[in-house]
Amino acid sequence: MTFFGRLKKIFSPARTAREDDSGRVEPGEKVRGRPRVHVLATGGTIAGRLVSTGPRYRAGVLGVEALLDAVPALRGLADLSGEQVANIGSQDMDEFVWLKLARRVNELLAHPDVDGVVITHGTDTMEETACFLDLTVHSPKPVVLVGAVRPAGALGTDGPVNLLDAVTVAANPGSVGRGVLVVMHGSLFEARDVTKVSSSALPTFAAPNSGPLGQLIDGRTYYGHRTGLSPERLVFDVSRLDKLPPVGIVYGYAGASALPVKALLDAGCRGIVSAGVGSGNLHRDVLATLADASGRGVAVVRASRVPSGLTLRNVEVDDNRFGFVAAGALNPQKARVLLQLALTRTRKPEDIQKMFDDY
């Protein structure tokens, strides 16, 4: 490269991804001494726009370029590249986008010039995507999910500052080895415990059992507990999968019916997660149907609809007798993610329980 070419490269913002002839997007070469962060955009309110008629706004409208252009200060933090993986409201997130994301994140982080990945995402199912990636990304480099509750153009929109915080965390070497993180409203959360706790107010996320991992104050990251992922941590190889085993969730309530369980079994579910009451308790009719299903080789995981606390084995339900698995700290939607991954390896309840205990 010529002297002027090199100068141009150093002084250009190196913001956008390079696209080769096949349309494939690659992060550019790293400028010495600057962290390089790649942004994968999937949609959500952070990419949403206010509309004048009908619903108040539409999620998943703005592209990755517009998101990055809206926050010029990002360029002071890292060399950024970006690509669009999807542009959807995260209520439409599914295993196919998950598998695509997992593959792409693993590929990007294997690149020596990439220091971290930020994923922009709707808040509705962000916790499930974070959990899925926490269980399928092999690199210790930072992976940070971020979103917004207020769309671009709304008064007090939270997207730009959240994105700035997310890139701050992804570019920070102190974030290495902490697993997949969610950064929202000045807090930093681990994928395993974070959950959406308000459908309208800020802050929107909390980690009911463990609390936030850290905080962002004036652009600086303050980390709390947990240092370094164990090399023996639970991680699944999804590089050759194009779908996941079907697993459904049944909700518990007073007077619950076994009909939804039967419908899921008839539809061929290989696993069922019960979002039970209290410590994962089940109405007797639901219990009988799930016990029968478990006896026929369907994996049954007991979680709870209660927002905090643990679902432990053999408290009021005889898990040993029925061959059930207890979800521990995982809420029902994350228990489903882990059960789908677990079923790619085994159907044995004791092996699945071990995975829940190990995560």
Q: Which residues bind ligand GLU (CB under 6 A)?
A: 43-45, 59, 89-91, 122-124, 147, 149
What span, in angstroms and rounded, lies between the C-alpha atoms of 36 and 80? 6
What span, in angstroms and rounded, lies between the C-alpha atoms of 185 and 269? 37
What's the min distance (Å) between Cβ of 201 and ligand GLU?
A: 12
Secondary structure element (H or E) that encloses residue 273, with its range: strand 271-276
Question: Cβ–Cβ contacts within 10 Å for residue 346, how many?
Answer: 13
Question: Which residue number has the CB closest to ligand GLU?
Answer: 122
**Closest CB to ligand GLU among 146 and 342?**
146
State whether the Cα torsion 157-161-165-168 is positive or negative.
positive
**Closest CB to ligand GLU among 124 and 319?**
124
What's the min distance (Å) between Cβ of 39 and ligand GLU?
A: 16
Buried b (16+ CB within 10 A) or exposed e, 7-44: eeeeeeebbbbeeeeeeebbbbebbeebbbbbbbbbbb
Which one-letter DSSP state was computed for residue 226?
A: -
What's the min distance (Å) between Cβ of 24 and ligand GLU?
A: 26
**Closest CB to ligand GLU among 89 and 212?**
89
Length in residues, the chain: 359
> Encoding tokens for residue 166?
């997310």
Question: Cβ–Cβ contacts within 10 Å for residue 349, how many?
Answer: 18
What's the min distance (Å) between Cβ of 249 and ligand GLU?
A: 18
**Of 344, 350, 346, 297, nearest in space to 319 by CA:** 350
DSSP β-bridge partners for residue 247:
271
The three-class DSSP label of residue 97 is helix
**Closest CB to ligand GLU among 82 and 122?**
122
What span, in angstroms and rounded, lies between the C-alpha atoms of 350 and 329? 17
What span, in angstroms and rounded, lies between the C-alpha atoms of 152 and 175? 28
Which residue is listed with tokens 């000045």?
Answer: 186
Of 16, 42, 45, 168, the active-site residue reads 45
> Encoding tokens for residue 163?
């994105």
**Closest CB to ligand GLU among 91 and 314?**
91
What's the min distance (Å) between Cβ of 3 and ligand GLU?
A: 46
Known catalytic residue at 45: yes
**Closest CB to ligand GLU among 122 and 276?**
122
What's the min distance (Å) between Cβ of 47 and ligand GLU?
A: 8
What span, in angstroms and rounded, lies between the C-alpha atoms of 136 and 57? 33
Q: Known catalytic residues?
A: 45
